[in-house]
């Protein structure tokens, strides 16, 4: 005799708010999936966030983020409810003042990317942020090309020579050895993936 299937009921996940269906025999299930249950078991999000902040080490009143950082030095915080990382200074603003209006960004008065002190932050447009950077002399200079770049090992004339010797049949290995760079660097030059401004 076949077993009758359990009737199902709809429940609302206590963490993410999604409606999900469970067998009536599992009516006590509180979360739609394991990840929501794990997130709910964590300490409250504000408590987790402020535990990663050093409020004492800076003399200028900056509260420095001590956990994950972006390549540009901004703090990064994983908010389980969003299922993605957010910038720590933005999250600090949201915890203190509420949601950031659409189209606006959270900017630093103190010019310290790792700072999450809400008193050092303000809301503005991208144009406001760029104007603030320019007024403080922090505007990004145009990207330097070729030998002007701080990490350049070659000059425009040596790049021209590499291309001429390559056209004459000299191997990438020999060119790399002669000019003190990698074979990959030579290939990037000869295929014009880099140093495109050199004829």
Per residue in 16-31, pLDDT (tens digit) is 788 999 888 888 888 8
The domain limits of the chain are 8-40, 45-135, 146-190
Q: pLDDT band for 153, please (50, 70, 90 cuts).
A: confident
140 or 100, higher pLDDT: 100
Predicted TM-score (pTM) of this structure: 0.51
Quote the pLDDT of residue 145: 65
Quote the pLDDT of residue 118: 92
Per-residue pLDDT averaged across 134-147, rounded? 62
Quote the pLDDT of residue 91: 92
| In the predicted structure, residue 148 carries a pLDDT above the cut 80 | no
State percent of the chain over pLDDT 70.
85
| In the predicted structure, residue 138 carries a pLDDT above the cut 90 | no
Could you give the 3-state DSSP secondary structure of residue 140? coil
Q: pLDDT band for 106, please (50, 70, 90 cuts).
A: very high
In words, the CATH class of domain 45-135 is: alpha beta
- 58-75 tens-digit pLDDT: 777 899 999 988 888 899
| In the predicted structure, residue 49 carries a pLDDT above the cut 80 | yes
| In the predicted structure, residue 88 carries a pLDDT above the cut 90 | yes
Quote the pLDDT of residue 4: 58
| In the predicted structure, residue 37 carries a pLDDT above the cut 60 | yes
């Amino acid at each position: 005799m076949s077993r009758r299937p359990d009737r199902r009921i709809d429940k609302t996940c206590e963490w993410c708010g999604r409606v999900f269906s469970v067998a009536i025999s599992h009516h006590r299930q509180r979360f739609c999936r394991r990840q929501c249950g794990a997130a709910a078991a964590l300490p409250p999000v504000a408590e987790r966030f402020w535990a990663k902040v050093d409020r004492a080490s800076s003399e200028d009143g900056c509260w420095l983020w001590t956990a994950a950082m972006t390549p540009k030095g901004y703090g990064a915080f994983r908010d389980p409810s969003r299922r993605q990382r957010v910038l720590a200074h933005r999250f600090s603003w949201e915890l203190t003042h509420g949601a950031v209006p659409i189209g606006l960004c959270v900017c630093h008065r103190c010019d310290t990317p790792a700072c999450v002190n809400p008193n050092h932050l303000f809301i503005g447009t991208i144009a406001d942020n760029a104007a603030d950077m320019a007024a403080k002399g922090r505007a990004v200079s145009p990207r330097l090309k070729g030998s002007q770049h701080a990490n350049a090992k070659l000059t425009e004339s040596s790049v021209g020579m590499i291309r001429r010797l390559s056209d004459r049949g000299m191997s990438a290995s020999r060119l790399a050895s002669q000019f003190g760079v990698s074979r990959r660097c030579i290939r990037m030059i000869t295929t014009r993936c880099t140093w495109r401004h050199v004829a």
